[in-house]
């Protein structure tokens, strides 16, 4: 039921696809719907088929269904990049944009937009647009022939994020919790935001300004540096194993797993109902796991309080006198972390 990939997942795909650099584009096919197929020749690997579904994903495939008559855009691509060398293949920052740097007698760029409605754009070496799959005009840029291609305004680049940067984002965020902040403002997406919280041992339901940026950054690095594979779940397909979900099927590469996505197949009412129920079950399982963690933590706290009960009882009795005098004396004790006169609270190290 998955239809597209996130920025984190695209990054994993790019790592698997680096072997096509220094290869060639041997043929271009424009298949059904908006799907484009590049037939590549990779050094030491031979023929490879790369399926591109704008606005959704790209991946290696073994299936080829070329139409009898190529489209005008397909013919244009064949003219300019047929038999072109692949100098570079990369993700633009941490955006859902893929760039092919290609070269024949001249240099060209083939840009794949995997966000929103998606698009495929061919430009010259100066990023002047030669042709597009679709003509698009946005508020801040125009994706049309003979105009200069302008990359969309970038969001947070989680690949270059520092704990100081993350701390500022968390502090300024007005999102309801840490997980939502990581998902939207850092750009990790919901699945990976929750995974980062789990690996960081940070409660994703806390307010953003309560998050520990150093722990969370460690969790982000743990995710993006994970060994890549293909993991298929009831509702997700990821490049690494999620800590809180059960794997339904495992594949050798993430490209293979992504190739199982049926981008244009509409779910039946029955499948939609199953998906909704599975989301409810997943939510309940997450809540149960959180409750179990809370029970364990509170049990440890209770045991510690019971162990120190006599000392705490004496301290409570002592604190019931004149608060101004008591606060002076409390500050002298080694295990007193802080005394708040205004709210009449004492923080104790146990």
Cα-based distances in Å from 193 to 8, 50, 110, 289: 10, 29, 31, 17
Shared-domain flag, residues 25 and 97? yes
Question: Residue 74: how many CB atoms within 10 A of its CB?
Answer: 20
Q: Which residue has the tokens 């722990």?
A: 215
Determine contact, residues 115/55, Cβ cutoff 8 Å. Answer: yes
> Does some domain include residue 272?
no
Shared-domain flag, residues 253 and 189? yes
- Final residue of a structural domain among 258, 291, 326: 258
Shared-domain flag, residues 120 and 20? yes
Domain range for 213: 164-258
- DSSP assignments along 193-258, one per residue: HHHHHHHHT--TTS-GGGS-HHHHHHHHHHHHTSPP-EEE-SS-EESS--TTS--SEEES-HHHHH
* CA quadruple 6, 11, 16, 18: dihedral, nearest 10: 130
What's the structural domain count of the chain? 3
CATH assignment at residue 27: 2.30.310.10
Start-to-end C-alpha separation, the chain: 50
> Does some domain include residue 288?
no
Tokens of 305: 């309080």
Shared-domain flag, residues 39 and 114? yes
Q: What is the pLDDT along the chain (350 residues), one digit of tens a residue?
A: 689 999 999 999 999 999 999 999 999 999 877 899 999 999 999 999 999 999 999 999 999 988 888 999 999 999 999 999 999 999 999 999 999 999 999 999 999 999 999 999 999 999 999 999 999 998 889 999 999 999 999 999 999 999 999 999 999 999 999 999 999 999 999 999 999 999 999 999 999 999 999 999 999 999 999 999 999 998 899 999 999 889 999 999 999 999 999 875 665 565 566 656 766 766 676 667 667 767 887 888 788 777 777 766 766 676 666 666 666 666 655 566 676 766 667 677 76
Cα-based distances in Å from 41 to 10, 38, 66: 22, 10, 18
pTM exceeds 0.85, yes or no: no
Buried b (16+ CB within 10 A) or exposed e, 277-290: eeeeebeeebeeee
pLDDT digits (tens, 9 = 90+) for 134-183: 999 988 899 999 999 999 999 999 999 999 999 999 999 999 999 999 99
> Does some domain include residue 289?
no
CA–CA separation, 92 and 153 (whole Å): 11
Shared-domain flag, residues 26 and 137? yes
> Does some domain include residue 79?
yes
Question: Residue 159: how many CB atoms within 10 A of its CB?
Answer: 13
pLDDT digits (tens, 9 = 90+) for 95-147: 999 999 999 999 999 999 999 999 999 999 999 999 999 999 988 899 999 99
Shared-domain flag, residues 219 and 323? no
Shared-domain flag, residues 181 and 232? yes
- Final residue of a structural domain among 216, 235, 258: 258
């Amino acid at each position: 039921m998955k239809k597209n990939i996130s920025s984190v997942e695209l990054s994993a795909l790019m790592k698997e696809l680096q072997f096509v650099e220094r290869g060639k584009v041997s043929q271009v096919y424009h298949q059904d719907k908006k799907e484009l197929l590049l037939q590549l020749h990779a050094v030491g690997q031979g023929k490879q088929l790369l399926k591109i579904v704008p606005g959704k994903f790209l991946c290696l495939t073994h299936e080829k269904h070329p139409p009898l008559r190529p489209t005008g855009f397909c013919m244009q691509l064949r003219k300019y990049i047929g038999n072109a060398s692949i100098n570079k293949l990369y993700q633009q920052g941490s955006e859902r944009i893929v760039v092919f740097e290609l070269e024949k007698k001249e240099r060209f760029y083939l840009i794949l937009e995997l966000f929103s409605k998606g698009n495929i754009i061919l430009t010259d070496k100066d990023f002047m647009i030669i042709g597009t799959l679709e003509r698009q005009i946005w508020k801040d840029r125009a994706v049309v022939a003979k105009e200069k291609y302008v990359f969309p305004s970038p969001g947070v680049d989680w690949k270059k994020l520092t704990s100081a940067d993350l701390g500022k984002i968390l502090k300024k965020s007005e999102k309801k919790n840490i997980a939502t902040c990581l998902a939207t403002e850092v750009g990790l997406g919901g699945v990976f935001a929750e995974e980062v919280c789990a690996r960081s041992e940070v409660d994703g339901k806390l307010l953003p300004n309560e998050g520990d940026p150093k722990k969370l950054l460690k969790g982000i690095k743990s995710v993006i540096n994970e060994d890549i594979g293909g993991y298929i779940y009831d509702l997700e397909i990821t490049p690494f194993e999620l800590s809180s979900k059960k794997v339904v099927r495992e594949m050798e590469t993430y490209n293979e797993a992504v190739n199982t996505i049926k981008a244009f197949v509409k779910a039946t009412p029955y499948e939609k109902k199953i998906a909704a129920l599975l989301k409810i079950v997943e939510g309940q399982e997450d809540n149960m796991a959180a409750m179990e963690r809370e029970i364990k933590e509170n049990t440890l706290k209770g045991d510690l309080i019971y162990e120190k009960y006599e000392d705490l009882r004496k301290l409570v009795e002592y604190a019931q006198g004149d608060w101004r005098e008591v606060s002076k004396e409390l500050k002298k004790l080694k295990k007193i972390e802080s005394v708040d006169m205004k709210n009449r609270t004492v923080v104790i190290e146990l």
